[in-house]
Amino acid sequence: MADEGVAVEAAGRELVVTSPDKVFFPEHGETKLDLVRFYQAVEGPLMAAMGGRPVLLQRFPHGAGGSSFFQKRVPETRPEWLQTTIVSTPNGTTSQALVAADLAHVIWAVNLACLGFHVWPTRADDPHHADELRIDLDPTPGVTFPMVREAAAEVRRLLDELGVVGMPKTTGNRGIHVYVRLQPRWDSYQVRSSAVAIARELERRRPDLITAAWWKEERGRRVFVDFNQNAPHKTVFGAWSVRARPGAQVSTPFGWDELDTIHPDELTMRCVPARVATNGDPWAAMVADPQSLEPLVALHERDRASGLHDAPWPPVYPKMPDEPPRVAPSRARAPTASTSAAPSPAAGPESGVDSEPRST
C-alpha cells in the first residue's frame, strides 16, 4: 500500500489510515486496516453501545504483542471536527477525553494504534447520570469459563426476579459482563450501591460459586462480582471492542440462549462481523428500552436496613463515610493489652494487597 496511507469513509468524512499494512495481531496477521474494516462492519451495534460516550484511549504502537500506554487527554494536534469532553478522575484531576460521537471518531483513534475502547458509563451530554449498570463477573485464579457461565445464569435469574432486563457480553478474555441500560435518573454512587447489593445477593444464593469479597485473600476459587467497576469515573472495556490479544478477540454481546455454548476465544474480528450480519445486534431491545434502577436500589436499602455497611472502595478514591477500613483482613492489627482500637479507617492498602482493578 502507498506510504501516504489509505483513504476510508466514515460518518460522511474521509480519513487517511497511515501504515495500513502494519500488523496489529500476530496470530493471523490482521493489520491496522483490517481493524478499521472490522469497526466499519459493526458500526451499528458499536455506536448503539458506546456512541456519545467519553472513551479512554489505550494505545499499542507496536500492536497487540507490544507495550501500551493509556492516554487520558486527546493530542493537541487533532482535527477541528473531533468532539471531546472534560472528564474527571477519582482524585479530581480533569482531562479532555475523546467522545465516541460517530465512527469517524473511532477510526481516528484506531489510526493512533488504539485497538479497543475503555468506555464511561455516562454520556458526554449528561455526565451526572450513569445510564449503565455493569455487572463484572471476574474469574479468580482456578475459576473456569464454565463457572463464569454458571455465575452469569445466576445473574439472569436474579434480574428476572426483580423485573430488570440485563444482557451479557464476553470481555474478550476470561470473564463475562452483564449490562443493564438505565434511564438517566441516577448517579454513579447510586449505581455502584446497587451493584454492591447485587454482588452480596448473588453470594448469599451461591456462596460456593460467587463472592462479593473485595480482598483477594477472601475470594477463594470463586467468581468475583466486581462492584467497583461501577464506581464514579470508572471505565470498562467496551462492547464490540477488540482486545489486545494475539488472536484479536472481541468483547462480544450475545443472547442468553447462547450462554451454554459461547466461548470468548472463538469470537474474533475475523468472525464477529458475520455474526452481526446474520443475527443483528443482540442488545438492540435492551438499548431501546432503558430500565429503572428502583428494584436494585430497594435491594441496597434492604441490606442497609439489616445493618450492612458500604463495601470497600479502591484506594484511589477518597475515604467514604460508611466504608470499612481499607486494609486486608490478614493485615489488620490484632487488639493488644495496651490498645483495642481498630485499624485507622484512613489506612489504605499496603504493598502486596489489592489495588484498584484496571478497566476490564
Give tens-digit pLDDT for 180-230: 999 999 999 999 999 999 999 999 999 999 999 999 999 999 999 999 999
Residue 335 pLDDT > 80 = no
| Of the candidates 205, 181, 214, 168, the residue with the CA atom closest to the CA atom of residue 310 | 214
- pTM of the predicted protein model: 0.90
Percent of the chain scored above 90 by pLDDT?
Answer: 83
Pairing of strands 223-225, 210-211: parallel
Spatial distance between the Cα atoms of 95 and 264, rounded to a whole number of angstroms:
33
Residue 360 pLDDT > 70 = no
Chain CA centroid to CA 322, Å: 25
Residue 355 pLDDT > 60 = no
The domain at 6-120 falls in which architecture? Answer: Alpha-Beta Complex (3.90)
**What pLDDT does residue 166 have?**
98
Q: Which residue has the cell 494504534?
A: 113
Report the DSSP beta bridge partners of residue 170. Answer: 176
| Of the candidates 93, 87, 117, 121, the residue with the CA atom closest to the CA atom of residue 103 | 117
Q: Hey, where are the domains in the chain?
A: 6-120, 128-239+283-309
Residue 342 pLDDT > 90 = no
| Of the candidates 29, 61, 186, the residue with the CA atom closest to the CA atom of residue 122 | 186
| Of the candidates 135, 115, 138, the residue with the CA atom closest to the CA atom of residue 55 | 115
- When comparing pLDDT for 291 and 331, which is higher? 291
30-39, 68-77, 239-248: lowest mean pLDDT where? 68-77
What's the fold here for domain 128-239+283-309? DNA primase, PRIM domain (3.90.920)
Q: Which residue has the cell 464514579?
A: 232
Q: Which residue has the cell 441500560?
A: 181
**What pLDDT does residue 182 have?**
98
Which whole number is the average pLDDT over 217-244? 96
Give Cα separations from 228 to 28, 48, 64, 122, 215 (angstroms). Answer: 35, 24, 27, 15, 12
